[in-house]
Amino acid sequence: MTLTTKPTVQREPEPDVATPRLRTRLRRNRFWIVAAVFAVGIALVLMFATRGASIDAALLSPGNQTPNGGRALAQVLRQEGVTVTETTTLDATLEAVEDTDSTVLLFDPSGLLDASQLERLSVADAALVVVTPRAAALRTLFPGVSFAGSSDTADVLSSDCGDPTAERAGTVTGGWTLYTTTDADAERCFTADGGGSAVVTQADGARVLLGSADALTNDVIDRAGNAALALGLLGSTEQLVWYLPSLADVPVTGPPSLDELTPSWVAGVTGTVVVTAILAMFWRGRRFGPLVIEDLPVAVRASETMEGRARLYQRSGNRQRALDALRIGTVSRLAVAAGLSRHASVVEVADTVAGLAGLDPRHVRSVLLDAVPTSDADLVSLSDHLLDLEAAVARATDLTGRNHP
C-alpha cells in the first residue's frame, strides 16, 4: 500500500548576500559620523577658547600680564641683566639664594608663613625686600616697626631722606601703607604729613619694608618715581628671587593618626590572638566530606516539559526550531526502524525510508530536511507528514502484518 502524500511546503530560495560597499556603510552610519565630527569641532573650539585659562593671574606675579601683575617690572630687570627667579616655596627660595649675590622680594598677602619660616628666611645670605607684610610678619622681621595709617592713591610722596635709591626716585604714588619705627638708626623715606613713612630701611640695609604692592604692578609702575624706586631696591644684585608663598609652605596639621592613638601593647596582643585563632582552626577544623546526591521530591512529567517548550516556540514564532525538534525525533526513530546506524546522515535515512515505503525520495527529503514552514498551518502539515512517514515505515517493516490496514 502506498502513502497518500499531502502538499508540501517548498523552501524559498535564499537571497544572495552581498558585502556592503563603503558608500553603503557610510550612509548607514551617517548619524554617528556627523555626531563625531560635531563633537570634535566642539572640543577644538573649547580648546582654543580656553587657551588663556592657564595664564598666570596671581597678584604681583612676574608672569602676570594683567594690570595687577608684575611682568613689566620683571622684564625691565631682566633687560638690565638681573636674573629673575620666581619661587613659591621657602625651600626653593633658600636653595636659589645659596652661593649667589641675591635679593629676595617677599610678598605674602595671605600670611602663609609662620614665625619660624620667617626666621629661616631672615637669616639667609640675601637682601630682603618685604612688601606690605601682615602684623605677625611685621613683628618678626621688623621689630619696633608699627602701622601708621595709609596714604590716598592720588597722593604723591617725596623721598625726604638720605637713601640714594629713594633720592633717585624722587617721588612715588599709588597708595601706600605707612609705618613708624622706634629704631633711630632706621632710614624712613617718603614720609606723609601724618608722620608715617612708606619705605623703612634697616640700618645695615639688609631689610627693606615697602608699603605698597600696587606701586610695583604693571598699571602703576610707570607713575612718578615708582619704577626708579623698584629698580633701585630689586636690581642691586645679580639675582632677584621673586618669592610668592603658596599653600605648599603651610605646615600640614590635623588630628592624631590611629598609630599615635593606639597603645604600644595592642600590636603584640593582636598578633598573638591572630596566631592562636589560626592554630585553633587547624586543630578543630574539619574538612568537607564528599558531595551527597539527593533526589528532588518533585517529579516533572515529560508532557509538561514538551508543552512548555511548545508554548515558548509559539510565543516567539520560531516555527523552524519547533519543526527541527520534531524532525530530530522522527529521524532517530526512522533510522532505528530501518536498521541504520545511529551515525547515519539525514540524507541516508531519507533515501532508505523512500526505498522501504515506496515513496518519492524528493518528497521524503523535503519532509525530513528541506521544507521551511512559513505559517502555523505549514508547521502542522509538516508534522502530519512526519507521522505519516513513521507509519509508512512501520507498515513496510512489519512482517506480521498487524500494522497493515
pLDDT in tens, 183-197: 888 889 998 888 888
Q: How far apart are CA 111 and CA 122, in angstroms?
A: 16
Q: What is the pLDDT of residue 2?
A: 42
Taking only the tens place, the pLDDT of each residue in 17-58 is 344 456 676 777 777 788 888 888 888 877 766 554 445 678
Residue 55: the pLDDT is: 59
Q: Give CA torsion, residues 52, 57, 63, 67, to 10 deg.
A: 100
The answer on pLDDT for 312 being more than 80 is no
Block residue for cell numbers 508534522? 383
Domain 71-249 has CATH 3.30.70: no
| 154: confidence class by pLDDT, cuts 50, 70, 90 | confident
Question: Dihedral of CA 148/153/157/163: which sign?
Answer: positive
C-alpha closest to that of 365 among 354, 380, 377: 354
Confidence of residue 12 (pLDDT cuts 50, 70, 90): very low
pLDDT of residue 22: 63
pLDDT of residue 21: 59
Alpha-carbon distance 110 to 129, whole Å? 17
> What's the whole-number mean pLDDT along residues 123-136?
90
Q: What's 252's DSSP letter? A: P
Phi and psi angles of residue 358, each rounded to the nearest 5 degrees, phi first: 70, 40
Q: What percent of the chain has pLDDT over 90?
A: 18
Q: 85 pLDDT band (50/70/90 cuts)?
A: very high
Per the CB < 8 A criterion, the answer to whether 197 and 189 are in contact is yes
Q: What mean pLDDT do residues 375-382 have?
A: 85
Which residues belong to CATH 3.40.50 in the chain? 71-249
